[in-house]
Amino acid sequence: DAGVTQSPTHLIKTRGQQVTLRCSPKSGHDTVSWYQQALGQGPQFIFQYYEEEERQRGNFPDRFSGHQYPNYSSELNVNALLLGDSALYLCASSLKARRGGETQYFGPGTRLLVL
């Protein structure tokens, strides 16, 4: 049973660039959530995708956008990178978001460094 996978594992970008992070959910899961975790802090919710639509969004600017494909995999895009975007980006998958409260399974994360 494949767990949540993310790519790449590490990434270095410069200010102003754009980045795309990828996530494949756990087998059988249909919902993908993205979180940003700054060093020494807890993860912060970015947004959640279900049925190829953004269903919920946290307090992040429009520079953060996403997509979900029919196979439930997802991408997180960040435009006009800022130094403060340096963080660990975590993808989590779950089943049937509308029911609420289901356990989320996290991938290993993508560590983004913006110089």
From the list 11-19, 22-30, 64-72, 101-109, the region that binds another protein by CB under 8 A is: 101-109
Nearest to another protein of 38, 80 (CB atom): 38
Check binding of 44 to another protein (CB under 8 A). yes
- Chosen residue from 2, 53, 71, 99 binding another protein by CB under 8 A: 99
Shortest distance (Å) from residue 65 CB to another protein: 17
- Chosen residue from 11, 13, 22, 55 binding another protein by CB under 8 A: 55
Nearest to another protein of 78, 107 (CB atom): 107
Check binding of 90 to another protein (CB under 8 A). yes
β-partners of residue 64 are: 78
Residue 107 structure tokens = 């991938």
DSSP the chain: ----EEE-SEEEE-TT--EEEEEEPPTT--EEEEEEE-TTS--EEEEEEETTEEEEE-S--TTEEEEE-TTS-EEEEE-S--GGG-EEEEEEEES-GGG-----EE---EEEEE-
Check binding of 93 to another protein (CB under 8 A). no
